[in-house]
Chains A and B, each alone.
Chain A
Amino acid sequence: MATAKEVEALEAAAIPAGATVAAPAAVTRTAQPRRPWAVGLSAFVPGLGSLALGRVTPGAWILVGWAIALVTLAISREDVARTLDQGRLDDWVALVTLAVSVVGLWIWGILDVAVTATRPVRRVGVSQWRLAGRRFRKNRLAMAGLAIMVLLYWLTLLAPYLTPYDPNFQGNIVLDRYLRPSAEHLLGTDKFGRDVLSRILYGARISLTIGFLSVAISVTLGTLLGAVAGYFRGWVDTAIARFIDMMLSIPRLILVLVVIALFRPEIWIVIVVLGFTGWEGTARIVRGQFLQLREQEFVQASRALGYGDARIILRHILPNTLAPIIVIATLGIGTTILLEAALSFLGLGVQPPTASWGSMVNDGRDAMITAWWISTFPGLAIVLTVVSFNLLGDGLRDALDPRLRG
């Protein structure tokens, strides 16, 4: 029987690694004196106080965000009135988003000044996540990716307010079709006289929703299978590895095409099919991590304490594999958005008249000579989105595991 002391030592060893790093006197930042006038300034115009105190980067972000939010509010006065009057769910979501962003930026602006002034000198250790966060914030490209991504999600939520036209509204079929980009239609109109900009903004919903949900499915599935394979090894591992080999020998697009062609091309089917095909990479990486980690002392300690397999997998090993999972998920969203665009382009994704970037590119094909803008702009939207996710993913990889830097 283990004595109480031994158990205690084992418990200590069983704390998942990566929780904290004992580093004495890690932070040398000295407290700045409180500046009430700066807080006041930020309460008046968010971000101004931070700028005045010399915190340029957060100050600029807050100020720009505030300006964008205000401009949006000014533009969409009528939409707000309509929301309060009729109240479609779409409109309410947009209104809440707008309100939350205005209030949130305000609070951030005030906190940024107030908290900087009163932040105590830290004497405790710095966690791995905090260290990664610092490395990430220093990476300007990654921050740009994050900013674009946040902006994109924001735009999709606000789409009903920002779009000057209904995305499926067909104008006068003679007068309004194939209009060049102009002040009235910033990105022109398509063959049914629909506003391209409005359709792109609504199309972002499809891409971002499918990207996010499919990756959530595939990463969960991949993590589960990878964890089981790496932890139990033996025939389970062999079976899963062979299955992965088989799945990888059919190109993902072909597999997805075949499956979707067999069922109906509908948004939920697309999400599920994309989710059930992209998990192989995650599974392989998680498996490798588990193979390594299961031999380490903290796992042995957990076993000695009599913890069950499920608990060891979920509470002790899995938290240590989160970093690569987060990275692969972020990069996976970019790939999935490209794949969804390809499906819609072929006409096997989301069906018309719902706007989707891939199908918009396809719509413009029969009028490339006369109306180049129909295909061009949705494609640019895809590129911008995928670039931002890739920048974010690369930045996260560099921040979370500097050894992987390529």
Chain B
Amino acid sequence: MIAYLGKRLLQAVPILIGASTIIFFLMHAAPGDPTSIYLGNPNIDARVIEQMRENLGLDQPVHIQYVKWISSFLQGEFGYSFSQKRPIADILKDTIPNTLVLSGVALAIIFILGIVIGTVQAVRQYSWGDNLATALAFFFYSMPSFWFGLMLILLFSYKLQWLPASQMTSVNYEFMSGSAQLTDRLKHLLMPAIALGVGGAASVARYMRSGMLEQVRQDYVRTARAKGLSEGKVIFKHAMRNALIPVITLLGLFLPFLMAGSVLIETVFAWPGMGRTIVTAIFQRDYPVVLATAFVISVMVILGNLIADMLYSIVDPRIRVEEGEGA
């Protein structure tokens, strides 16, 4: 187990370096550099821009910049944001937890909702409920999340006025009692998390349904029924456990999906997370922030994949053996 994990971890390092290399060279292929916004500004002398480039290390050859960039990133030095006038590390410290909360809740929605609905569908195959759920899943799966978020806002915030439309907390959050603060946060979290997670939940339900249908046909399920176990035990203790295994691999698939989705959902709901930061930074041409955020997102995706691999090898020990043989 430890050896397997170690091997996985070692494989992740070159991927991480490669991914950041892709981002770095994309940035360099672009016309202009961070100082180009000052070009043509009559208040700034050409010599000042030259000095800025020197300070930022932009006058050095690309490969030296690259080595410096990567070593400083690995030490957690992300540089300075031009638009927000503060260190990028500070911005990330503020935004990462918000994004993690949002995607964490969305991930829970994806798996809990998807697994429950998929299982019920499989148990009641071809009932009207199954057909309806299949159709709905298809619908949600094909829906742009940002549009669904807007529709939720339209319905629940503007028409019914049940839930707040944006931000993480209300304006008077600081003057609330402890429990009121918690409900306020949950109220703000509910709609974005649903908008972010519903598409994924639909695809988990699809996988779960077909996985369960495959398991209930197996001999061991027939044996369980034959020895007189209750239907609930057969489904939940026998079939479901095995049907869950392939669903867990989806975890790795959903992390990029969640990170990309949070860019849109955070924009729609004005959620102060990494996704919104990257969009704002793009419009302000704040390249260092864009680079750093994209880098952190890649790190999170790679780490998430590692965790998914770990979980998978825990629930299904066969994987470890196969990997060991070198598939």
Where the two chains meet, the residues of A that have a C-beta atom closer than 8 Å to any C-beta of B are 242-243, 245-255, 257-259, 261-263, 334, 338, 341-342, 345-348, 358, 361, 364-365, 368-369, 372, 375-376, 379, 382-383, 386-387, 390-391, 406
B256 to chain A, nearest CB (A): 4
Q: Give the total number of A-B pairs whose CB atoms are below 8 A apart.
A: 134
Contact A242 B146 (CB under 8 A): no
Residues of chain B contacted by A346 (CB below 8 angstroms): 263-264, 267, 279
Instruction: Identify the closest chain A residue to B155 (Cβ).
Output: A372
What is the CA–CA distance of A361 and B206 in the complex, to the nearest angstrom? 28
A250: which B residues are within 8 A, CB to CB? 19, 22-23, 256, 294, 297-298, 301
Of the candidates A252, A386, A391, the one having the most CB atoms from chain B within 10 angstroms of its own CB is: A386
- Is the contact region of chain B dominated by helix, strand, or loop, or is it mixed? helix
Task: Say whether, besides A257-B279, A258-B294, A375 and B263 are in contact (CB < 8 Å).
Answer: no
Q: Chain B nearest CB: distance from A178 CB in Å?
A: 15
Q: Is the CB of B144 within 8 A of A382?
A: yes
SS class, residues of chain A in contact with chain B? helix
**Is B73 located at the chain interface by the 8 A CB criterion?**
no
Chain B residues closer than 8 Å to A364, beta-carbon distance? 150
Q: Is the CB of B264 within 8 A of A245?
A: no
Known A-B contacts A251-B260, A261-B290, A365-B150; the reply to A383 vs B142 at CB < 8 A is yes
- Quick check: B15 and A245 within 8 Å, CB to CB? yes
B154 at the interface (CB under 8 A from A): yes
Contact B282 A368 (CB under 8 A): no
Binding site for A on B (CB under 8 A): 14-16, 18-19, 21-23, 26-27, 29-31, 138-139, 141-144, 146-148, 150-151, 153-154, 158, 206-207, 210, 256-257, 259-260, 263-264, 267, 278-279, 282-283, 285, 290, 294, 297-298, 301-302, 305
Docked-complex contact A348 and B282, CB < 8 angstroms:
yes
Query: Complex: how many Å from CA A291 to CA B237?
Result: 38
B146: which A residues are within 8 A, CB to CB? 342, 345, 361
A246-B19, A257-B278 known; A379-B151 Cβ under 8 A: yes
Q: A263 vs B282: C-alpha distance in the bound complex, in angstroms?
A: 11
In the bound complex, what is the Cα–Cα distance between A338 and B261 (angstroms)?
A: 11
Contact, CB under 8 Å: B142 / A386 = yes
**Chain B neighbourhood of A257, CB < 8 A:** 263, 278-279, 282
Most buried by B among A249, A341, A368: A249
- Bound form: Cα–Cα A262–B32 in Å: 9
Contact B259 A338 (CB under 8 A): no
Contacts of A387 in B (CB 8 A): 138-139, 142
Q: Return the chain B residue nearest A370 by Cβ.
A: B158
B15 touches A249 (CB 8 A): yes
Q: Is B282 touching A254 in the complex (CB atoms < 8 A)?
A: no
